[in-house]
Structure 1
C-alpha cells in the first residue's frame, strides 16, 4: 500500500510540473528585459527585470559614462597649498632681462646759445663738462653729450678733421691690445669690420694724423663718462648728425 501511495504522489507531481513549466517559461521570457551596463567596469553585469523597454541593440546605460581627465601637475608652495603648474611653468626658465641703461637727458642733443669768437663749422670739445659744441653761427651752437678719455688717456689740443668714414673698421694699435690684455685680461682683435658691434659705431671723424677720432659707439650708456682711450665717443644718432654737418678740414679744439 505504501509503495502504491508513493507512485501515485510522484505521478501527480510530474503532471503538475509538466503543466506549469510552459506557463512559467512564457511568463519569464515572453519579453526580454533590457540589459543595463554599469558605468563602473568593476561592477557585475546586472539583468534588469523591470518593464523598461530596451533601445535598439538591447543595451542601456544607467548613467552617462564618466569622462576621466588627467589632472594638471600640482606642486606645493612653501605654505603647503597645492599650486597648479601650467605647461609654461614647466618650460625652461626665462633668463632675466638685461636692465635698461639710459643716459642723463642733459647729454641729449640741443641747440644752445654761443657767444665765443670761433667761426661757424668749428668743433669745440669740453672734456670736463663732457660736451661737444658745433658752432653754427648766429650766436648758436649745436651741443652733444660725449664720452672722453679716462684717467691717463685724456688730452687737449687743436686738430683738423682729416677724413670721414661711415661704419669704419677698427684696428686697435698694438699698445692698446697689450694694455687691455695685461690690465683687463681681454684679448682685442687685430681688426674688426664695421658694423653695429664695432666700438667705433656708425661714423668716424679722424683728427689730423693722430690715432684719435670722434666716433660713434656700441655702448651708448657710457656717454657723459670718462671711459675711452682718448677718443671722443658719441651716440650713433648724434655722430651721424654731426657727420652730415661737418666738412673735412673743419677745426677741432679739445680743451
Structure 2
C-alpha cells in the first residue's frame, strides 16, 4: 500500500503523465489523417474509456457526493449535490490534537485498517482492539500524521473531543458511509 506521501505523489504524477501522453498520442493520430471525411475515425481506448465514464456511474461512487464535518456540534453531513442525505454524530480531535479545518478530499479508502499509535508507534492489527474500527477514510497527511474518518472500538466516546485529530464514527455507520465514497470525494471541515 502507498502509505509514504512521497511515493504516493510520485505514483500520482506518473499516472497523470501517462494519461497526458496517451491523450497527446490520440491528438497526433487524429491530426495526421490525410482526409478526415474519407478516413473513418475509430475511437481509441482512451476515448472509449472517457465515453464509458460519462455514460455509466462508477461502482461505490455517487458523482456529486460530498461531506461536511462540523466540529462545534460534532456532526458529519453526507450530501448528494445540494441535498443533505444523512447526518452522523462524530468524535473529533482533542485539545492540542484538533481536527484540521479546511477543504480536503478523500485520499485513501481502507477496509480493516492497521493502526499505528501516533506517539508510541505501536501497531495494532485489525480486530476488536483496533481503535480505527473496520473502515478508514483518509483525507489529510503529512510526513508523520495521518488524519481521517474511521470507526471506533469505543462508541461511547462519539460526541466528544477525544481523538488525535481524526473523526470517529460508530462502526456500523462508517461502513454505510464508506460504500458511498470514492477517492476524490470533497470534504469540508468547518469549526461550526
Q: In which range does the TM-score fall when normalised by the shorter chain?
A: 0.5 to 0.7
Q: 1:92 maps to which residue?
A: none
Q: Which has the higher contact order (CA 8 A, sep 6+)?
A: 2
Any stretches of 5+ residues in structure 1 without a counterpart? 1-118, 178-188
Q: Is the 8 A contact 1:196 1:202 kept in 2?
A: no
- Scaled by the length of structure 1, the TM-score of the pair is 0.46
2:168 to 219, 233, 238: 233
In the other structure, the counterpart of 2:110 is 165
Contact map agreement 2:64 2:80 (CA 8 A) in 1: yes
In structure 1, the residue matched to 2:37 is: none
Number of positions where the alignment pairs a residue of Structure 1 with one of Structure 2: 124
Please show how residues 200-215 of structure 1 align to structure 2 within 5 Å: 200-210=132-142, 211-215=146-150
With normalisation by structure 2, the TM-score equals 0.61
- Structure 1 match to 2:11: none
- Offset of residue 190 of structure 1: 1.4
Residue of structure 1 in register with 2:71 after alignment: 127
* Matches of 2:82 and 2:71, distance apart in 1: 24
Indicate if the aligned counterparts of 1:130 and 1:225 stay in contact, CA closer than 8 A: yes
Q: 1:138: how far off?
A: 6.1
Deviation at 1:153, TM superposition (A): 1.5
Runs of 4+ in 1 over 6 A off after TM superposition: none
Residue 184 of structure 2: aligned partner:
249
Match for residue 192 of structure 1? Answer: 124
How large is the Cα RMSD of the aligned pairs? Answer: 1.6
Structure of larger gyration radius: 1
Q: Give the gaps of 5 or more residues in structure 2.
A: 1-62
Residues 121 and 195 from structure 1, CA distance in 2 versus in 1: closer, same or farther, beyond 3 angstroms?
Answer: same
User: Who is 2:23 aligned against?
Assistant: none
